[in-house]
Copies of this chain bind each other. A is one copy, B any other.
Amino acid sequence: MKDIHIILGAPKTEEIRPLIKTEGIVIGVDRGALLAIEENLKIDVALGDFDSVSLHEKKMIEQSKAKVLNFPTDKDDTDAELAFEYALNHFDAKNIYVYNWYGGRIDHLYSILMIVLQKRFETLIPKLKYIATNNVIEYFLPGEYTIDKIKQMDYLSYILMTEVEGLTLKEVKYELIEEDFDQPLALISNEFLNKQASLAFKKGIIAAVQSRDKTE
């Protein structure tokens, strides 16, 4: 099992390289492939319709050692969905880390955040982590979990992506015991009391978000 690193093509607002903490397969998605190359990251696979790069930039991607997969512009899947499909079909991934997903078109971001609601990606949910300097998201299927506090992240929020049954939050400032929610809801600005928090629920999909106010 390998870690997969997926670098998306949002307008670059932060360095990707320091966010990558583990070895593994690197997939550059469309303009994300170029951004990775510009940071001297070795990419294994580059995929997309590449409508967001110039001919010259496309050549740079082709001259890297990456395996390049070209998709038509008029495809049904978004570039992110293509990358998730590729990861699903080609690797037994341990973790799937996603970078450079925030800061661009809000419709793309909506799509990326909602991707876990698609049945075809259900098996990826427990592996998925969206990484950024001030925002980290993990997704959970029903079960019991401990969540490790990430250094310097001040807030812990639980986003109920679906209706949720039997939600219990412990070792946090605002606890919940066995609560049911019949609608998606964002429970935000909770906080760790210790280095770990405990999450349990019986039905639904939950995103745990660790974040901090932007350091300006």
Contacts and interface: CB of A to CB of B under 8 A. Distances in A.
Interface of A: 11, 52, 78, 102-108, 110-111, 113-114, 117-119, 132, 134-135, 137, 155, 157, 159, 183-186, 188-189, 207, 209, 211-214, 216
Q: Tell me the number of copies of this protein.
A: 2
A209 B157 contact: no
Contacts of A207: 110
A136 to B, nearest CB: 9
13 contacts: A78-B189, A102-B106, A103-B103, A105-B155, A105-B214, A107-B155, A107-B159, A107-B186, A107-B188, A110-B209, A111-B157, A114-B184, A119-B183
Given A11-B214, A11-B216, A209 B107 contact: yes
A137 B108 CA distance: 13
B11 A108 contact: no
Contacts of A135: 105-107
Given A106-B137, A213-B52, A213-B105, A188 B113 contact: no
A107, A113, A207: residue with the most chain B Cβ atoms closer than 10 Å: A107
A105, A117, A211: residue with the most chain B Cβ atoms closer than 10 Å: A105
